[in-house]
Amino acid sequence: MRVTLFDYGAGNIHSLAKALATASGADVRVQTDPVKALDTDVLVLPGVGAFGAAAARMEPGREQMRQALEQGLPCLGICLGMQLLFESSEEGEGRGLGLFKGRVTRLRAKHVPHIGWNSVEEDSALKGAKLDTVYYAHSFACRAEEPEAVVGWTSHEEDRFPASVRRGKVLGVQFHPEKSSAAGVKFVQAFLREVAP
C-alpha cells in the first residue's frame, strides 16, 4: 500500500513518515506537489504549520485534491491537516478543501495553545480502535456546521470542539496520533486497514 504525505513545507514530516511506516509497513512517500500527491492509495495531510501557508501550497491542486477525496481516495488529516479539510480559517488567508462545512477559529480559552494529553469523548471514528486520551498541540479548532460529521469531541477549558470528523474514507483528527503512544499507533493502523485497497 502506498501512503503519501503531502508536504506543505512545515517540517516534522519525516518523524510522521517514520511513524506511519512503522505502524503500517506501507510504502510511505513525501510529495510537495499537490497533484502528484494524489497518485497514491492513501493521502495524509500532516499536522504542523500555519493554515495560510499550507493552503497556498495546496492551491494549485486544490480542486483536483477535493475531487479525488470526493471520489473515494482515502485521506487522514492530522491537526492542521484536519483544518485544511474545512472551508477557511481565521488563522490565515486561503481556502481549505471545503470537504466539511465550517470555519476554523482560535480556541476560546484563556490558555492557548492547547498542548498536552486530553480526552476524546463520544469517539466513533473507527471500529476497534477506540481512543481515550491523546496528544494535542494547537491554537485553532474546527467549528463544524454539520454535527453528523463529528465522530469525536474534546474540550479545552470551556471550549468544546471536534476531536475528529469523518465522511466516508476521509478522517480528520485534531490530535496527533503519531505522538499518542501505542493507542495512537493502533488508531493509524486501524484506519489504514479499514481503507486499504
Q: Which residues are catalytic?
A: 79, 176, 178
Contacts of 55 (CB under 8 A, 6+ apart): 62, 84, 89, 92, 93, 94, 95, 96
Grid coordinates given for 21: 511506516
Q: Are 149 and 166 in contact (CB under 8 A)?
A: yes
Burial class (CB in 10 A: 0-12, 13-18, 19+), 109: middle
Grid coordinates given for 51: 493554515
Burial class (CB in 10 A: 0-12, 13-18, 19+), 29: middle
Q: Are 135 and 179 in contact (CB under 8 A)?
A: yes
Grid coordinates given for 33: 506537489
Instruction: Give the amino acid at 185.
Output: V
- Number of continuous H segments (helices) and E segments (strands) in the chain: 5, 12
Grid coordinates given for 35: 497533484
